[in-house]
A and B are shown apart, each in its own frame.
Chain A
Amino acid sequence: MAEIKTKTKPTWCPGCSNFLILESVSRAVQSLIKQGWKKEEFVITTDIGCNSKIYDYLNLSGIYGLHGRSLATAVGVKLGNPKLNVIAFQGDGGAYDEGISHFIHACKRDNNVTLLVHDNQSFSLTTGQPTATTQEGYKSKASPSGFKEKPLNPIKLALASGATFIARCNPFDVDDTARIIETAVKHRGFSFVEVMQKCLIFNTGINSLEKLMHKVNDNNDEEKAYKLADEWDYNTAETGHDKIPIGILYEKI
């Protein structure tokens, strides 16, 4: 089997779920290569943040770009050569704060690239400041008295912006995450895959969310997709009735 990982030793924190996401991406690409896709025709674009270190750990062509701009760069690569299969990596800060306009417009234009957002609901490489998906009340060095804003729901935003493929993954389910990434890459049009990453160091408040996750069947119904999107508001569960749907929440066919 073609080796997709480089020999570079990752500098992620021990136990970080980024290792699992790397494994899922690697398996998805290997599976595609087995099906006849060419390794040399993959291009990854990365942002700035813990997630983007994956650039050094994947033996694929790529651009280690600017913070918030990975998706814009990916769109440009695809426009430059439509034969290339382009996967953009971003964190929640890059995708939903700094680069939100690129996210909305990629959904709207349906650019044929895949976006993987490692969402740990905080800026972690800069030591834990809140992002657009951070839960209310989150305390950090930047929000010592608790974060006052409501989190953004990117799944709903993607739906409203016209995305044709929307998925959410649990990084601990490596097989399912790999399957979803593979399906996303195969989807013709823009594919948005949000991985509910954890952070062991900063926003640890989100680490108990796994118990709320439940797998859903692949869905092609837009109305149902809105319902699934509404099941969780990105706050930590205190009311007890939140559920976090995992799977292909919407694929337009």
Chain B
Amino acid sequence: MRLNILIGGKAGQGINAVSGIIAKVLADYGYFTFNYRDYQSLIRGGHNFNVLSLSDEWIASHESKVDFIIALDENTISFHKNKLKKSGKIISYPLFPDAGKNLNIALASALAKILGLPKELILKHTEKFQDSGKAVELGYKSQKHELNLKKLNNKISIISGTQGIANGAINSNINIYYAYPMTPATPLMHELAGRQKDDFFVFQPENEVAGINQALGSSFAGKITMIGTSGGGFDLMTEALSFSGQSEIPIVVYLASRPGPSTGIPTYTSQDDLDIALRAGHGEFPRIVLAPGDANECIEKTNEAFYLAEKYKCPVILLSDKHLAESDFSHDKKANPILKIKMNRKIPGKEIIKASSYEHLAGGETTESETEAIKNAKARLKKYSEIKKEIEKLEPIKIYGKQSKNLIIAWGSTKGAILDSIKNLDCRFMQVLYLKPLSDKIKKEMLTAENIILIENNATGQLGRLLREKTGISIEEKNRILKYDGRPFTSDLLREKIKGRLV
């Protein structure tokens, strides 16, 4: 059973409240939801919409065709009526001329009635809105029960990718989060700023270059530190990424991508930035790049990022994108147990500690010696090989589905749409979670497949290129499903694309 609800209106009309209320009511009623947010780079007006997908089993994507349209304005109908299924229904703003600012709540309540959800749950989840009771009544009595969803026993919590990252950071005892505003990393800054406490604060620097150099200063001083940004801000930080590699001051960098090049399409999604995560920064130094694919993995991989940064004293890049960061997931499973972060390094205050951006001796003193240069380069290579071993303990890949000739390979936020689209198809799906170092298991898995399909939210297939470099296996061009319109995959359309490529 699966339904999709599109909620649209102008920025400022409260469409997130509608999807939020319905999702919470559905969670209480035992249903899984996934909420996709499509919004423009403006503050008031324009046209924004969400697609809330619901199911009696776990889902992590939305579909291109919808069962309901909740319209807070006329544009929503004219822009989206072509997405409505034949059996679909529009619930539109003229129904409630007297709802005023609570039009969104009246519409949410109307939809809840149609779905057969109890009024008490709507009241519970709209309590915090001023004068919402009247709007709930208005909405509820305007409709009839049509679907009569049965209450299920699933224990579900709703969490966005951003909240997952925040939980992972707090589980890792983060002390300072540095961030200069940039979509789609900004929601993490807001989330963490709301969760500041005695030994944790958020600092907004004058720019990204300042931010990462400050972050390295704080890390040197003994604090667990993270900095967050999107592609453009990450570009500015790359010199200091190399500095972290040389000085061995640990740092976690949260990189949430959006479509480039340059300013690109700021409030939309892409997987454009794998290449820079893998290679940004001059010189040769060990780094770790990891990419969660849903909100639970955000919690786990963020924790692993901090764990590895401290253990190996190197930069760790946590790769996300707008689709993962700003979508709301529902989970009935708990994230993995928390890895305890151990700070096994000396910090200033009690003894003399030096860290340098120059090639240096063990005590931190500058050196230009050939033998020291070789020794240090070898130490960096050795560190990387140790990291490569370590990540095998941390689920560097995940494989879904039974043995099959067909193997789908992808990373990051495409996970949800892929899992939802391959149900009952003859294929396996390999999700790559660690992109650097890359697990040797990947090549083995690729060698067992007859037909490999690559799925990425970019125009050039950056993971495909990486796999060719590391495994020597090239994925045929006709088997590369690439989407680069700034929008994520929807599972129904993706299913058709996959079906056409199976052998």
Contact = CB atoms under 8 A, between A and B. Distances in A.
A250 to B, nearest CB: 23
Contact of B351 (A40, A69, A74, A84): A40
B475 to A, nearest CB: 39
Contacts of A48: 357
A66 B218 contact: no
A63 B244 CA distance: 11
B354 A79 contact: no
B221 A81 contact: yes
B366 interface: yes
B214 A73 contact: yes
A81 B366 contact: no
Contacts of B216: 63, 65, 73, 76
User: Which of B206, B216, B221 has the most chain A CB within a 10 Å cutoff?
Assistant: B221
Contacts of A66: 213, 239-240, 243, 357
User: Which of B207, B354, B356, B365 has the most chain A CB within a 10 Å cutoff?
Assistant: B354
Contacts of A83: 349
Contact of B355 (A40, A63, A79, A84): A63
Nearest to A63: B355
B225 interface: yes
Contacts of A72: 205, 209-210, 213-214, 217
17 contacts: A39-B352, A45-B217, A55-B356, A63-B354, A63-B355, A64-B358, A66-B243, A75-B217, A76-B214, A78-B221, A79-B214, A80-B176, A80-B222, A81-B348, A101-B206, A101-B207, A101-B210
Contact of B213 (A8, A39, A76, A104): A76
A60 B363 CA distance: 12
A209 interface: no
Contacts of A55: 354, 356, 366
A72 B239 CA distance: 14
Contacts of B348: 40-41, 43, 61, 77, 81, 84
A40 B214 contact: no
A105 B366 contact: no
Interface in A40-91: 40-41, 43, 45, 48, 53, 55-56, 59-66, 69, 72-81, 83-84
Interface residues of B, number: 41
A171 to B, nearest CB: 23
A43 B205 CA distance: 21
Nearest to B247: A63
Contacts of B356: 55, 63-64
Given A65-B213, A66-B240, A102-B210, A77 B221 contact: yes
B220 interface: yes
B239 to A, nearest CB: 6
Interface of A: 6, 8, 39-41, 43, 45, 48, 53, 55-56, 59-66, 69, 72-81, 83-84, 101-102, 104-105
Contacts of B210: 69, 72, 75, 101-102, 105
User: Which of B215, B216, B219 has the most chain A CB within a 10 Å cutoff?
Assistant: B216
A41 B349 contact: yes
Contacts of B240: 66, 69
Contacts of A69: 209-210, 213, 240
Contacts of B334: none
B217 A79 contact: yes
Interface string B255-288: 0000000000000000000000000000000000
Interface string B197-239: 0000001011101100111111111110100000000000001
Contacts of A56: 365-366
A193 B365 CA distance: 26
B315 to A, nearest CB: 14
Contacts of A60: 352
Nearest to A88: B217
Given A63-B216, A64-B356, A77-B217, A8 B365 contact: yes
Nearest to B353: A61
A30 to B, nearest CB: 15
Contacts of B44: none
Nearest to A43: B348
A101 B240 CA distance: 16
B402 interface: no
Interface in B335-369: 347-358, 360, 364-366
Given A76-B215, A101-B207, A63 B349 contact: no
A77 B225 CA distance: 11
Nearest to B219: A80
A64 B220 CA distance: 12
Contacts of A74: 217
Contacts of A39: 352
Contacts of B176: 79-80
Given A76-B214, A80-B225, A65 B206 contact: no
B218 A63 contact: no
B204 to A, nearest CB: 11
Contacts of B218: 76-77, 79-80
Nearest to B225: A80
A56 B175 CA distance: 30
Contacts of B207: 101
A14 B364 CA distance: 25
A81 B219 CA distance: 10
A72 B354 CA distance: 17
Nearest to B221: A80
B354 to A, nearest CB: 6
Contacts of A102: 206, 210
Contacts of B364: 62, 64
User: Which of A41, A53, A64 has the most chain B CB within a 10 Å cutoff?
Assistant: A64
A109 to B, nearest CB: 9
Nearest to A60: B352
Contact of B206 (A6, A43, A64, A105): A105
Given A81-B222, A81-B223, A64 B213 contact: no
Contacts of B221: 43, 76-81, 84
A248 B182 CA distance: 40
Nearest to A77: B217
A73 B349 contact: no
Given A64-B358, A66-B243, 8 more contacts: A41-B349, A56-B365, A76-B213, A79-B176, A80-B176, A101-B206, A102-B206, A105-B205
